[in-house]
Amino acid sequence: MPETFPAPPELYAEVAVPAAVTQTYTYRIPAAYHAMAGPGCRVVVPFGRQTLIGYVVAIHEQLPAALAAKPAGQPSAVKDIADWIDETPVINDEILKLTQWVADYYYAPWGETLKVALPPGLDVRLEDWIELTEDGRRAVQAGSVSPRTRNGRLLAWLVEVGGAVRLDDLPPDRFGKNPRQVARELEHLGLVSLTTRTGEATVRLKRRLVVRRIERPADQPERPLSPAQARVLAYLDETPTALVSELVAEAEVSPAVLRQMAKKGLVEIVPETIRRNPLAHLAPLPAEPAPELTPEQRQACEAVLAAHDSGRFRTFLLHGVTGSGKTEVYLAAISAVLQRGGSALMLVPEIGLTPLLARRLIQRFGSLVALLHSSLSPGERVDEWERIRSGDARVVIGTRSAVFAPLVNLRLIVVDEEHDTSYKQSESVPHYHGRDIAILRASRLNCPVILGSATPAIETFQHTVVGKYTRLELPQRIGNRSLPEVTLVDMREVFKRHREPRFISDELQTAIAETCSQGEQVMVLLNRRGFASCWLCRACGFVMGCPYCSVTLTYHRTDHYLACHYCGYTTPPPGRCPECQGEGIAYVGEGTEQLEARLRELFPTLAIARLDRDTTRRRGAFERIFNDFASGSLNILVGTQMIAKGHDFPNVTLVGVVSVDAGLMMPDFRAPERTFQLIAQVAGRAGRGDRPGRVIVQTYRPEHYALATGCQQDYRAFFEQELIQRQAAYYPPFCVLATVIIRHERELEGQALGEKVAELLRAAIPQAASADAPLRVLGPAPAPLARLRGEYRFQILLKGRQRMQIRHALGHMLPALTDTERRHVFIEIDPIDL
Ligand code: ADP
Ligand code: ZN
């Protein structure tokens, strides 16, 4: 009887690639990598004609049936993994499942979602590294090191693990039979050092390359810089010691540019090990014991801890005006969770604007705190992420994408300013909402989540009304400090008085002059987002709205017409006001630049700075302008609502809101909510010191309920009014929304595809019916940005009573599209900018 031998084991990896695809792909794992094969590792895979870094999401011991069913004799379509990057997983099981859910919910590629969950600096750029070292280049020229060879892989791996590893810990097979020999080869090339102590050999990467600016002597003439060189120097102004890979990514230059600059003596490239501390520049707050909580604060904290202790998921809304002590509740709850052995995650909208919050956390929790946000350099983010992953950092404060931070034993999530729109990722895929993912993550972990706000999102507050969330109220400001007085200036009167539109009313002008003459500071802001302009009567305040959708019509300047972006209704702009027959009707939409110019005319002797997207493109620009303002060297800060967030400026006693109307009249059903939030937020900014503050709001619509309730800072009254509007026009929280955007270079084809998509969606309506309401499909209509980067954009709006109705219709529509058509179709679930 001949012996039977088992076939050599086969392993396959299911890989999510960061590309615009909805499925994952199966690759064969070469035997050399079997030892480290596991989900959560990054791998290099061939993908079409590209080579991509993908993420292993599952391991199969057999080829999946669908792929195995190939007729015999035909070559297998399954390709091999080209390289295995991670020895141990960089993505844990929890984050793997969470991202899968997020990808599915938002119709986004899983690979793209995983990419968002990892710090951007994590990817090794071995090629750059080799390009930049003398030794490295010599080695490449000699053909002795390349990313594909064993020694190249060992280098990459050393970069990954932080620069050093014991030879005994190296995976067998990965670097050939004799890793010591590979390490010796590299040592010979001057790239690593090999040390043996008490019998243990350790291989250490000699160089981590950093780039530093060289100060040029004054007598040396300045040579003109290329734009790329200028970007590098500008970046180094902010980050004096930068990683090579960081400059390549952030200043968008090639390593060759850096090498040239080094030759010219503009920068030096030196090997150095740095461990950056992103908190280093924050002056520490003096250590102070936590204050004794007020009875309301204690109650709130205890409710959260009760949920924590019973291991139950629960969503809390902590509702209280600015200064009512919400942050102290977060801190107390976090502290208690830490004492019980857990860790905590705190999301904030924009950390750059709230350094005080980070400082308060550090004051309380010291080195347990890690910071994750987009204005850290990639290197800093990797460092912080490693501390979180290892369990060294147990309190994470971060912006949106920090919701994916791999905390060990996460037991509490806090979402501060939960209503803030910056939690929604609108620019790129996946279009996720940080707050909603936080709630989902807490539910999967069976732990509490606290949403905090002075002006909760209508949906959030409604959830507390129906009992889905638990509401905790902090009704008073700590120390009973009063809120500033908010007054409205009726711009219709101003128009009548002067017979021409005025940017700044006499009332506001006088108040600015008074405030500055007393040595106090002023913020002037314009509530205006980007592109939309409305058609408004300056005499009576009438605004052109859609007869069907209860939103404002948007003026399209190029073709001179008004359009509704929900249903597609269009009309030419009227010459006279349909309401008062006056001629004051015109489009409004001045920007912050004009506002700044006008203020300079009115107050030529005052120091004025502007803060908006244009002036803060550069890294650190925010901080610089804010610091100038905080130091008192500026009298007036002009900007968009950006300036209303965060920061505590005790010397600001006046805030002027110029033209609240453009924001209020946005063609977005949430415009009143945003306006109310803005006024409440602004009121929280003025007079935070000992002196009382005041707020002046200019408007053509003083009777609008968002303004009237905003002045009183009466959230409840606003909520009641707004809920009536939402119900009448069938908007959230009474329905769920999704948009389908068609983007096409050719207008007619885009329009035709939009109609096809809408028709497919409408065809699914009968099956998508729910007990209490049908699915509604509106459009196609020109999108709010009807043309962007040479593309025409059409929008279809879906409204469903239940989420399943929308999923059903999308599930019916998508498979009916050709691959080419599918590339023009973009889905957004729960959009916030319509
Ligand atoms: P919010 O987050 O609601 O704006 P904070 O928690 O920042 O409010 O509290 C506002 C101010 O009151 C802070 O200076 C804070 O230190 C202080 N504070 C908060 N709670 C207490 C308390 N129980 N006793 C004394 N001071 C407190
Ligand atoms: Zn409409």
Cβ of residue 327 lying under 6 Å from some atom of ligand 1 = yes
820-834 pLDDT, tens digit per residue, is: 999 999 999 999 877
Q: Which residue among 293, 317, 327 is best mutated to probe the pocket of ligand 1, counting the most ligand atoms within 8 A of its Cβ?
A: 327
Q: What is the DSSP string of 570-584?
A: EEPPPSS-TTT--S-
Q: Which residue among 328, 474, 482, 713 is best mutated to probe the pocket of ligand 1, counting the most ligand atoms within 8 A of its Cβ?
A: 328
Looking at the structure, tell me whether residues 135 and 228 fall in a common domain: no
Residue nearest to atom 11 of ligand 1 (CA): 323
What integer pLDDT is reported at residue 382 of this predicted model?
78
Instruction: Answer whether residue 701 is part of any domain.
Output: yes
Q: Is 350 left (phi over 0), alpha (psi -120 to 50) or beta?
A: beta
Q: What is the DSSP string of 312-366?
A: --EEEEEEE-TTSSHHHHHHHHHHHHHHTT-EEEEE-S-GGG-HHHHHHHHHHHG
Q: How far is the CA of 525 from the centre of ligand 2 (A)?
A: 30
Q: CB–CB of 455/419 below 8 Å? A: yes
Domain that holds residue 266: 207-273
Atom of ligand 1 nearest to the CA of 293: 23
Q: How far is the CA of 408 from the centre of ligand 1 (A)?
A: 29
Looking at the structure, tell me whether residues 366 and 455 fall in a common domain: yes
Instruction: Answer whether residue 370 is part of any domain.
Output: yes
- d(CA 78, CA 81) in angstroms, rounded, equals 10
Which residues are bridge partners to 197 per DSSP?
A: 200
Q: At 508, phi and psi to the nearest 5?
A: -70, -40
Instruction: Answer whether residue 5 is part of any domain.
Output: no
pLDDT band at 19 (very low <50, low <70, confident <90, very high): confident
Q: How far is the CA of 701 from the centre of ligand 2 (A)?
A: 22
Give burial (CB, 10 Å; 0-12/13-18/19+) of 644. Answer: buried
Atom of ligand 1 nearest to the CA of 292: 23
Looking at the structure, tell me whether residues 719 and 627 fall in a common domain: yes
Q: Which residues of 782-794 are buried (b: 16+ CB within 10 A; e: fewer)?
A: bbbbbeeeebbbb
Q: How far is the CA of 564 from the centre of ligand 2 (A)?
A: 5
What integer pLDDT is reported at residue 265 of this predicted model?
81
- d(CA 588, CA 538) in angstroms, rounded, equals 9
pLDDT band at 759 (very low <50, low <70, confident <90, very high): very high
517-534 pLDDT, tens digit per residue, is: 999 999 998 865 444 567
Which residues are bridge partners to 27 per DSSP?
A: 13, 79
Residue nearest to atom 5 of ligand 1 (CA): 325
Cβ of residue 769 lying under 6 Å from some atom of ligand 1 = no
42: tokens are 């990054």
Q: How far is the CA of 322 from the centre of ligand 1 (A)?
A: 9
Cβ of residue 816 lying under 6 Å from some atom of ligand 1 = no
Identify the nearest ligand to the CA of 648 by its number. 1
Give burial (CB, 10 Å; 0-12/13-18/19+) of 747. Answer: middle
- Alpha-carbon radius of gyration of the chain: 29
Q: Which of 142, 169, 201 is the last residue of a domain?
A: 201
Looking at the structure, tell me whether residues 692 and 616 fall in a common domain: yes
Q: How far is the CA of 516 from the centre of ligand 1 (A)?
A: 29
Helices 355-365, 326-339: inter-axial angle, 10-degree rounding: 30
- d(CA 831, CA 107) in angstroms, rounded, equals 13
Q: Is 178 left (phi over 0), alpha (psi -120 to 50) or beta?
A: beta
List Cβ neighbours of 389 (8 Å cut-off, separation of 6 or more).
90, 406, 408
pLDDT above 60 (res 346):
yes
Looking at the structure, tell me whether residues 352 and 395 fall in a common domain: yes
CA distances from 117 to 34, 399, 444 (A): 26, 12, 17
Span between the terminal Cα atoms of the chain, in Å: 75
Atom of ligand 1 nearest to the CA of 474: 3
Mean pLDDT, the chain, whole residue set: 83
Instruction: Answer whether residue 1 is part of any domain.
Output: no
- d(CA 410, CA 370) in angstroms, rounded, equals 14
Strands 83-84 and 79-80, sheet pairing: unpaired
Cβ of residue 356 lying under 6 Å from some atom of ligand 1 = no
Q: Which of 728, 762, 794 is the last residue of a domain?
A: 728
Report how far Cα 811 is from the mean position of its chain's Cα atoms. Answer: 28
241: tokens are 């010691």
415: tokens are 């979402």
Looking at the structure, tell me whether residues 365 and 445 fall in a common domain: yes
Cβ of residue 646 lying under 6 Å from some atom of ligand 1 = no
Tally the domains of the chain. Answer: 6
Identify the nearest ligand to the CA of 547 by its number. 2
677-719 pLDDT, tens digit per residue, is: 988 888 877 665 667 788 999 998 899 999 999 988 899 999 9
Please report, to the nearest 10 degrees, the dihedral formed by the alpha carbons of residues 748, 751, 756, 757 taken in order: 140
The CA angle 625-627-629, to the nearest 5 degrees, is: 70
Find the CATH number of the domain harbouring 740: 3.30.70.600
Residue nearest to atom 20 of ligand 1 (CA): 325
pLDDT band at 283 (very low <50, low <70, confident <90, very high): low
Looking at the structure, tell me whether residues 610 and 689 fall in a common domain: yes
pLDDT band at 261 (very low <50, low <70, confident <90, very high): confident
Q: How far is the CA of 823 from the centre of ligand 2 (A)?
A: 27
Cβ of residue 326 lying under 6 Å from some atom of ligand 1 = yes
Q: Which residue among 450, 478, 481 is best mutated to probe the pocket of ligand 1, counting the most ligand atoms within 8 A of its Cβ?
A: 478
- d(CA 300, CA 595) in angstroms, rounded, equals 43
Q: At 664, phi and psi to the nearest 5?
A: -65, -30
Cβ of residue 294 lying under 6 Å from some atom of ligand 1 = yes
- d(CA 725, CA 669) in angstroms, rounded, equals 9
Residue 209: how many other CB atoms lie within 10 Å:
19
Instruction: Answer whether residue 561 is part of any domain.
Output: no
Looking at the structure, tell me whether residues 365 and 458 fall in a common domain: yes
pLDDT band at 771 (very low <50, low <70, confident <90, very high): low
What integer pLDDT is reported at residue 768 of this predicted model?
62
Q: How far is the CA of 681 from the centre of ligand 2 (A)?
A: 30
Q: CB–CB of 450/443 below 8 Å? A: no
Q: Which of 172, 201, 230 is the last residue of a domain?
A: 201
- d(CA 584, CA 383) in angstroms, rounded, equals 58
pLDDT above 60 (res 141):
no
Residue nearest to atom 18 of ligand 1 (CA): 325
Looking at the structure, tell me whether residues 688 and 647 fall in a common domain: yes
Residue stretches of the annotated binding site: 537, 540, 546, 549, 564, 567, 577, 580
Cβ of residue 293 lying under 6 Å from some atom of ligand 1 = yes
- d(CA 533, CA 566) in angstroms, rounded, equals 16
The CA angle 228-215-206, to the nearest 5 degrees, is: 80
Q: CB–CB of 165/203 below 8 Å? A: yes
List Cβ neighbours of 230 (8 Å cut-off, separation of 6 or more).
none
579-602 pLDDT, tens digit per residue, is: 888 877 776 656 677 788 889 999
Looking at the structure, tell me whether residues 147 and 193 fall in a common domain: yes
Instruction: Answer whether residue 278 is part of any domain.
Output: no
Looking at the structure, tell me whether residues 708 and 743 fall in a common domain: no
Residue stretches of the annotated binding site for Zn(2+): 537, 540, 546, 549, 564, 567, 577, 580
Residue 50: how many other CB atoms lie within 10 Å:
9
Instruction: Answer whether residue 834 is part of any domain.
Output: no
List Cβ neighbours of 66 (8 Å cut-off, separation of 6 or more).
none
Q: Is 71 left (phi over 0), alpha (psi -120 to 50) or beta?
A: beta
Mean pLDDT of 548-565: 75
365-414 pLDDT, tens digit per residue, is: 988 999 988 767 666 787 789 899 999 999 999 999 999 999 999 999 99
Q: CB–CB of 543/676 below 8 Å? A: no
Cβ of residue 297 lying under 6 Å from some atom of ligand 1 = yes
Identify the nearest ligand to the CA of 321 by its number. 1
- d(CA 547, CA 545) in angstroms, rounded, equals 6
Which residues are bridge partners to 347 per DSSP?
A: 398, 415
ipTM above 0.95, yes or no: yes
Instruction: Answer whether residue 420 is part of any domain.
Output: yes
Looking at the structure, tell me whether residues 422 and 396 fall in a common domain: yes
For residue 115, the SS3 value is: helix
91-137 pLDDT, tens digit per residue, is: 999 999 999 999 999 999 999 999 999 987 665 444 444 444 454 55
Identify the nearest ligand to the CA of 553 by its number. 2
Find the CATH number of the domain harbouring 633: 3.40.50.300
Q: CB–CB of 172/201 below 8 Å? A: no
22-71 pLDDT, tens digit per residue, is: 889 999 999 888 888 899 998 888 888 777 788 999 999 988 877 776 65
224 prior amide bond cis, ω within 30: no
Residue 52: how many other CB atoms lie within 10 Å:
16
HSE-up of residue 389 (Cα within 13 Å, Cβ side)? 17
Q: Given the structure tokens 């509704």, which residue do they identify?
A: 564
Nearest to 711 by CA among 676, 739, 673: 676
Alpha-helical regions (H) of 240-294: 244-250, 255-264
User: Length of the chain in residues, anyone?
Assistant: 834
